[in-house]
Amino acid sequence: MKSVKVGIAGLGTVGSGTVNVLQRNAAEITRRVGRPIEITHIGARRLNPACDIGDIKVSEDIFALVDDPEVDILVELIGGTTTARDLVLAAIRNGKHIVTANKALIAEYGNEIFQTAQEHNVDVGFEASVAGGVPILKALGEGLAANRIKWVAGIINGTGNFILTEMQEKGRDFAEVLAEAQALGYAEADPTFDVEGIDAAHKLTILASIAFGIPLQFSKVYTEGITRITTEDISAVDYFGYRIKHLGIAKDTGNGIELRVHPTLIPKEVLLANVNGVMNAVMVEGDAVGPTLYYGAGAGSEPTASAVVADIIELSRALTVDQVERAPFLGFQAEQLSTDEVLSIEDVMCPYYVRLHVQDKTGVLADITRLLSAEGVSIEAMFQRDTDEEGYVSIVLMTHRIRESALQNALEKIAELEAVGNEIMRIRVEALDAS
């Protein structure tokens, strides 16, 4: 039987892993597909010693793959959004199916890419764009298709999770652990995408679209990083029975969709609180199945290649099927995507952790509680730490559920008090239990 011919653009970490998995498991893959899958063309500026490409044709110009009539499936693994977008759109218009691991490309340009693919009767696989080797997109779009999804919450950036794990388990500060993450290759020289939540926001955009059947809306994701988290916060939340995780959260509130990435307190007993190091995990609650958890390696050469190759296999099986008869790109038919509003962060309602540094003076605590009460903020628990060398004392409190805008109004007024130090820390709290 005629083989399926694959062109791979990019021979970096994931590209080399994809070559290795396809070659090593060729016999098993043939059994699954019913015909061989063959890499016939690679586009890369330089070869990678991590894989053996043998006599596979190599072009320094990745766009040579677009014009290669033999290539059935083009695998985009170059990253970025500029050249990658041009490459993918050109390949689609040339009738080639696409597989990509590029979360930024899908989150920011997916709507355009899917529309173009539909017009040219080709498919786009992007399982590897979220959580590496964890098959969360297929679980959401297919395995849980019978459910109305209530919420999705996940640790979807391994670098941030590694940093918070080291801070929590070893009492190390943020800057020290970040430097180690960079030395180990977990974080880039410029770690902004990881520690400020942009990488997670790209992934959450995709998760939410498949969970709720909404268009991809990266620009509407509220994003907050972990750079302000201190060892004092780690210790304080432990006292209350919580751990801090950098979560991507998407919720269908019934009045709109919440899309937010930020540090979050979750109870120690929740499984997600015990996902440590560079691992990823995503919790999903469906109305029929209840809460489910998906865990595994969120990055790395072969874990990500596992998802890339799974998409290649799926597309290979469907090469003779018209696009309209395949699973929809975002799990819902394109004409049935929801117009539900994405809510502002000010409309989010949840409990909060608040830390303040105040001068050790009579009446300060009374002023703080008065200002909180005026905005309807109710305190669930509170404790006070010893006075430091500068005469300031830490006050840490947990609130009951309150609208974010109300808490923010109260904190702005508290910050104006002469006895209150410059930095006020607040972190959202999520129970992540079935409801």
Residues 312 and 372 in one domain: no
What CATH number corresponds to the domain at position 85? Answer: 3.40.50.720
Do 247 and 307 fall within a single domain?
Answer: no
Burial class (CB in 10 A: 0-12, 13-18, 19+), 74: buried
Checking if the pLDDT of 178 tops 90, the result is yes
| Residue 15: band (very low, low, confident or very high) from pLDDT cuts 50, 70, 90 | very high
Span 9-13, mean pLDDT? 96
Residues 260, 356: one domain? no
Residue 301 pLDDT exceeds 50: yes
Q: Which tens digit of pLDDT belongs to each residue from 183-198? A: 998 998 999 999 999 9
User: Tokens 């305190």, residue?
Assistant: 379
Q: Tell me if 434 is assigned to some domain.
A: no
* Range 288-316 average pLDDT: 95
* 142 and 276 inside one domain: yes
CATH code: domain of residue 360: 3.30.70.260
In the chain, the number of structural domains is: 3
Task: Please tell me the distance from the alpha carbon of residue 225 to that of residue 196, in angstroms, as a whole number.
Answer: 4
User: Mean per-residue pLDDT for 19-30?
Assistant: 97
Do residues 158 and 263 both lie within one domain? yes
Write the CA distances from 221 to 171, 249, 358, integer angstroms.
31, 10, 33
For the CA atoms of the chain, what is the radius of gyration?
24
Give the DSSP letter string of 377-426: PPEEEEEEEEE-TTSEEEEEEEE-SEEHHHHHHHHHHHHTSTTEEEEEEE
In a domain, 291, yes or no: yes
Residues that are catalytic: 203
pLDDT tens digits, 311-360: 999 999 988 676 666 677 777 777 778 888 999 999 999 999 999 999 98
Does residue 172 sit in the same domain as residue 291?
Answer: yes
What is the pLDDT averaged over residues 14-31?
97
Express as a percent the part of the chain with pLDDT over 90: 88
What is the domain range of residue 353? 346-429
Domain end among 280, 315, 336: 336
Please give the pLDDT value at position 392: 87
Say what the pLDDT of residue 435 is: 46
Q: According to the model, what pLDDT value does residue 8 have?
A: 98
Tens digit of each residue's pLDDT (9 = 90 or more) over 230-276: 999 999 999 999 999 999 999 999 999 999 999 999 999 999 999 99
Indicate the pTM of the whole model: 0.95
Domain boundary at 236, 271, 297, which?
297
- What pLDDT is recorded for position 117? 95
Q: What span, in angstroms and rounded, lies between the C-alpha atoms of 213 and 345?
A: 21
pLDDT at residue 434 greater than cutoff 70:
no
Query: For 305-310, what is the mean pLDDT?
Result: 97
Identify the pLDDT of residue 335. Answer: 77
Using DSSP's 3-state secondary structure scheme, residue 110 falls into helix
Q: Does 305 share its domain with 290?
A: no
For residues 125 and 142, state if they share a domain: no
Least confident of 6-15, 86-95, 318-327: 318-327
Residue 51 and residue 179: Cα distance in Å, rounded? 29
Q: Does residue 435 lie within any of the structural domains?
A: no
Whether 341 is covered by a domain: the verdict is no
The answer to whether 155 and 272 have CB atoms below 8 angstroms apart is yes
362-384 pLDDT, tens digit per residue, is 899 999 999 999 999 999 999 98
Please measure the distance between the N-terminal and C-terminal CA atoms of the chain and give it in whole angstroms: 51
Taking the C-alpha atoms of residue 396 and residue 381, their distance in angstroms, rounded to an integer, is 8
Same-domain pairing of 150 and 119: no
Backbone angles phi, psi at 5, to 5 degrees: -105, 130
Lowest mean pLDDT: which of 15-19, 260-264, 386-390? 386-390
Q: How far apart are CA 139 and CA 211, in angstroms?
A: 10
% of the chain surpassing 70 pLDDT: 98
- Tell me: do 149 and 114 sit in the same domain: no
Please give the mean pLDDT across all residues of the chain: 94
Distance CA 268, CA 207 (A): 25
Residue 167 falls inside a structural domain: yes
Give the tens place of pLDDT for each residue, 97-116. Answer: 999 999 999 999 999 999 99
At residue 328, the pLDDT reads: 73
What CA–CA distances, in Å, run from 346 to 44, 73, 75, 318?
46, 44, 40, 44
Q: What local confidence, expressed as pLDDT, does residue 250 receive?
A: 98
Same domain flag for 144 and 285: yes
- Which of 297, 327, 358 lies at the terminal end of a domain, its last residue? 297
Indicate whether 185 and 332 sit together in one domain.
no
CATH number at residue 160: 3.30.360.10
